[in-house]
Structure 1
Amino acid sequence: MQRRTFLLAGTAALLLPLPAIADSPGRAMLYKNPQCSCCEGYAAYLRENGFEVDVKATNDLAEISRKAGVPEDLEGCHTMFIDGYVIDGHVPVKVVRKLLSEKPAIAGITLPGMPMGSPGMVGTKTGTFTIYSVTKDGKPPAVYATE
């Protein structure tokens, strides 16, 4: 009887939906300047919101962003790669999740600069954050989201 119960339970487990962990985002790789501490704050923010984040210090951050297609005038503080997308700067997790769920045909998104009050940054948010798309086809970036 125990064998039958075990087999039935095992079969049921295979047929039931996977737990919420199956819906969790993939592992992210965040490249940052070795002297930058706000990037560590952004990585901690992502971890607090369920992301797995590896952080790698580099002196080639501008080159990494350029190769990912991020225009120089729209570069953020750090460059992250997750699930085939580039995410540059302190992009709020709500927008990151939007990107990962919608899966648009773009290279990624960017929040230029280091806006005060953005995730991982100190200070109070004083205005709307404009997050731009990073295109794959050479077209100019467009507004992807505002937050």
Structure 2
Amino acid sequence: MLPTACGGPPKVEARRDRTCGCCGGWVEHLRAEGFEVDDKVVDAVGPHRQALGTPSDLISCHAGKVGRYALEGHVPAAAIRRLLKEKPEGVAGLSVPEMPVGVPGMEMPGSPPSTYDVVAFGRNGAGGRGCASAAWKSCERALHRPRLQHAASRRVATPRLAGRAGHGL
């Protein structure tokens, strides 16, 4: 991975509840993918979500921030990289709503990964599940299908953007 603006790997600030066990798996996924993660266990995640402007219909189990973008739930490293590379106008963050099986941190041995959405949202939650940028319109409720492969030969779900032929995350 190339250094972010010559400042090293992208840094994710993660905020998670002390009672949640799956969030640590997401943090480890990001670290394995080359992200630096400031992992904070907090008493309440809600105030962090509010400060980030995360829409209430996109809430999952933990919140985060990378650069100027909010992250909610088990957003895969590939989607974060795409966000940081493309910097789509009007997009304030990404969410994987709820907790689908197979997303980073929610892998369950013996259970096939789910199909899940990575949803872009606008500033101050504008548009809820809608995407604020025409350039990212395809990600608005983008269907992701898991592919299996990992550099460490672990079985993990890696999303691929479906819809536009030949266009992946």
Q: Same fold (TM over 0.5)?
A: yes
Q: Provide structure 2 residue ranges, at least 5 long, that are not aligned to the other structure.
A: 131-139, 145-169
The size of the alignment, in residue pairs, is 128
- State the structure with more CA Rg: 1
Q: How many Å apart are 1:75 and its aligned residue?
A: 0.6
What is the correspondence of 1:112-127 to structure 2 with a 5 Å cutoff?
112-123=97-108, 124-127=111-114
Structure-1 residue corresponding to 2:93: 108
Seen in structure 2, the aligned counterparts of structure 1 residues 117 and 67 have a Cα distance that, compared at 3 Å, is: same
What TM-score results when the alignment is normalised by the length of structure 1? Answer: 0.77
Q: Is the 8 Å Cα contact of residues 58 and 128 (structure 2) preserved in structure 1?
A: no
Q: Is the 8 Å Cα contact of residues 61 and 78 (structure 1) preserved in structure 2?
A: yes
Amino acid at match of 1:55: D
Report the structure, 1 or 2, having the larger strand content: 2
Q: Provide structure 1 residue ranges, at least 5 long, that are not aligned to the other structure.
A: 1-19
* RMSD, aligned CA: 1.9
Q: What is the alpha-carbon distance in structure 2 between the residues aligned to residue 46 and residue 117 of structure 1?
A: 15
Structure-2 residue corresponding to 1:66: 50
Q: What is the alpha-carbon distance in structure 2 between the residues aligned to residue 125 and residue 64 of structure 1?
A: 32
Report the structure, 1 or 2, having the larger helix content: 1
Deviations 1:90-111 (A, max 9, x none): 0111111111111112111101
Q: What is the alpha-carbon distance in structure 2 between the residues aligned to residue 144 and residue 25 of structure 1?
A: 28
Check if 1:56 corresponds to 2:40. Answer: yes
Deviations 1:20-44 (A, max 9, x none): 6425642111000011121111100
Structure-1 residue corresponding to 2:153: none
Q: How many Å apart are 1:126 and its aligned residue?
A: 4.3
Given candidates 116, 120, 133, the residue that maps to 1:129 is: 116
Percent sequence identity over matched residues?
32
Q: How many Å apart are 1:125 and its aligned residue?
A: 4.3
Seen in structure 2, the aligned counterparts of structure 1 residues 56 and 27 have a Cα distance that, compared at 3 Å, is: same
